Amino acid sequence: MDPYDASDLTPRQSASSRLKDYFIGATPLQKRLESVRKQATFVSTPPRKKIPQCSQLQEDVDPQKVAFLLHKQWTLYSLTPLYKFSYTNLKEYSRLLSAFITAEKQKGLAVEVGEDFNIKVIFSTLLGMKGTQKDSEAFLVQILSKSQPPSENTEGKVLWTGWFCCIFGDSLLETVSEDFTCLPLFLANGAESNTAIIGTWFQRTFDCYFSPLSINAFNLSWMAAMWTACKMDHYMATTEFLWSVPCSPQSLDISYAIHPEDAKALWDSVHKTPGEVTQEEVDLFMDCLYSHFHRHFKIHLSATRLVRVSTSVASAHTDGKIKILCHKYLIGVLAYLTELAIFQIE
Amino acid sequence: MKLRPERVTCPSAPPKGKASGRFENPARSARVTVRPAARMSVLRPLDKLPELNTATILLVSTEDALLQQLADSMLREDCASQLNVHLARSLPLPSSVTRPRIDLIVFVVNLHSKYSLQNVEESLCHVDASFFLGKVCFLATGAGQESHCSIHHNTVVTLARTYRSPLLFCDLKVENFRVTMAQRLVRMLQVCAGHTPGVSALSLVSLLQSPESPSLEDL
């Protein structure tokens, strides 16, 4: 057995607080077989997962500090580890990045009167946005427009926001060396052109690679089940699903809205094992919705593609757009997204 | 089209056969579903006499367009035997039609559609256990477009392993891949019909088995 597999055993056994296990089927025999197989061979295909329930995750994030992260639509990217990134040089990075952005925006443009290129870039760390102590600290990049005249001491409008984080990224941290900082999840809000420029700068400076993170229907159904399972005192939004029917000439969209308390009641009747969510429960939850729809409308939703899931906790679109609505489950949502990002990198 | 049912009532019982015991061994799932009364409804490999120099393949899937294209590609192949390609959406087949003995059944699953997987699982109950000695094959399409997948590919891998049958992956929408897969299926069909001397369906399937870890042999 090569040394990688031997060391792989101990973190798994010691992560008892996370209740993370890998298995394919629902029967105990298949669960055991799959965990044995994962330890014995280096599995090239990712096994299906069982995710801890949201309530078990840390809730020590200060609501005020992260309030600006909620209720905004973020575009997701996965990011390979950054080479020689240092948290002490953040001011230096701000300076370099603002110079780069100004240069990029002025490149190839004729001099325009009245166009304001005075922008300021701020790098800052986000405290508390991590799953375990080993996770790298999350940091935030903001592009602000400098207000004119400079005598006003207001900050200026935020043009673009992007932040990098890593929640429970243990599987990636184990494989990289000391010089690399692992922040596999990147979320951006703002103009696409700014995202492209910032992406180019990071790629040149830290030798990393951005790729857009898309969420397939399988993962969206997992998110729907996990977020419906979250206990909420007050439901802000209805639970809504959107399916895209592949038909010509134009694709048809089917939208299905459920009262959130009904969805929770359905989930509770399906959910058997406390503290974990299994593949079978997710499938059963979705099958109940599909069969109910079929009974009324004679349409097989299982033959269509799930494109968007929207709950009171968060809403996700298959193109990689996410909006988080509840600060209590912020870490839980980000943990799952980090897992998807890591899977895409590997 | 926006459809908004206001409330969803919890079904009193889970949908039958959908979650419980999906991947148990074929003998057990045969006991779970009600056996159809007519003997013709269950496909048996040896209940008819073979016809001279004829090989028959049955393609089962909800994806009609893909099946049609695959059938056309297969019929264009050069083959010493006469090929019959039968297409079906699901089993059981209607017993009103007389058909020759079926030599190979291919279940096609589209990874973009859970419905196709459910349909295949339900159809598998109508196949006699002795068919699975090399005369059944699974074909999964759509694995290339990861963002469109509703089914994890491990699901079909487990399904194929449970039924001890080979699993092939192919993007049936791409012409070249479809032609290659058609060639492969024609060669497999010839072996299953017994037209290839020295190779039988059972020996072929034992060659196609992926190496399994020793712990899975206990299953």
Chain B residues whose CB is inside 8 A of the A29 CB are: 219
Rounded to two decimals, the pTM is 0.76
DSSP-derived 3-state class of residue A142:
strand
What integer best gives the mean pLDDT of chain A?
A: 78
User: Is the Cβ–Cβ distance between B11 and A292 less than 8 Å?
Assistant: yes
> What number of CA atoms fall less than 13 Å from residue A152's CA on the CB side?
9
Q: Provide the domain limits for residue A234.
A: 47-55+215-345
Domain-terminating residue out of A212, A244, A264: A212
Please, which pLDDT band fits residue B29 given cuts at 50, 70 and 90? Answer: very low
What is the rounded distance in angstroms from the CA atom of residue A135 to the CA atom of residue A132? Answer: 6
The alpha-carbon radius of gyration of chain A (Å, integer) is 22
**Mutating which of B2, B9, B10 best tests the A interface, going by the most A Cβ atoms within 10 A?**
B10
Residue A321 lies in a domain: yes
What is the 3-state composition of chain B as percent helix, strand, coil, each rounded to the nearest 5? 35, 15, 50
Give pLDDT tens digits for B51-82: 889 999 999 999 899 999 999 999 999 888 89
**Do A88 and A198 have their domain in common?**
yes
CA dist A287 and A293 (Å) reads 10
Query: Has residue A20 been placed in a domain?
Result: no
The partner residue sitting opposite A41, judged by closest CB among B18, B150, B213, is B213
Alpha-carbon separation of residue A231 from A130, A227, A274 (angstroms): 22, 9, 13
Number of domains into which chain A is organized:
2
CB contact under 8 A, A287 and B148: no
- The reported pLDDT for the residue numbered A135 is 81
Interface check B157 vs A, CB under 8 A: yes
What length does chain B have? 219
- Our CA-based measurement puts residue A143 at a distance from the nearest CA of chain B, in whole angstroms, of 31
One domain for residues A174 and A255: no
Please name the residues in contact with B16: beta carbons below 8 A apart, sequence gap of 6 or more: none
Closest CA to A286 of A298, A297, A270: A270
Count Cβ atoms below 10 Å from residue B27 Cβ, excluding itself: 8
Residue at A281 is within a domain: yes
Same-domain pairing of A152 and A193: yes
Residue A210: what are its φ and ψ, rounded to 5°?
Answer: -95, 140
Task: Clarify whether residues A276 and A186 are in a common domain.
Answer: no
Closest C-alpha among A176, A177, A201, A18 to residue A186: A201
C-alpha to C-alpha distance for A236 and A325, rounded to whole angstroms: 9
pLDDT in tens, chain A (346 residues): 444 443 344 444 434 333 334 444 445 555 545 554 554 333 333 344 555 544 344 455 566 777 888 888 999 999 998 888 888 888 888 888 888 888 888 776 555 544 455 788 888 888 777 777 788 888 888 888 876 555 555 667 888 899 898 888 877 777 778 888 888 999 999 888 889 999 999 999 989 999 999 998 999 999 999 899 888 888 888 899 999 987 777 888 999 999 999 999 999 999 887 777 888 889 999 999 999 999 999 989 998 899 999 999 999 999 999 999 888 888 888 888 998 898 888 7
Q: Which residues does residue B56 pair with via DSSP β-bridges, in sequence order?
A: B84
Amino acid at A237: A
**Could A287 and B14 be called an inter-chain contact, meaning their C-beta atoms sit closer than 8 Å?**
yes
Among residues A212, A237, A258, the one where a domain terminates is A212
Are A181 and A160 within one domain? Answer: yes
Q: What is the DSSP letter of A182?
A: -
* Same domain, yes or no: A311 and A229: yes
Which phi and psi (to 5°) does residue B153 adopt?
-65, -20
Question: B147 and A318: CB-CB below 8 Å?
Answer: yes
A142 plus A184 within the same structural domain: yes
- Assess B34–A contact: CB distance below 8 Å, yes or no: no
Dig out the tokens for A257 from the structure.
């809205």
- For B43, the 3-state DSSP assignment is strand
Q: What is the mean pLDDT of the segment spanning B166-192?
A: 93
- Strand-pair partners of A161: A142, A189
One domain, residues A112 and A100: yes
Taking the CA atoms of A22, A25, A27 and A30 in sequence, report the sign of the dihedral they define.
Answer: negative
B211 part of contact set with chain A, CB < 8 Å: no
The residue out of A170, A195, A212 marking a domain boundary is A212
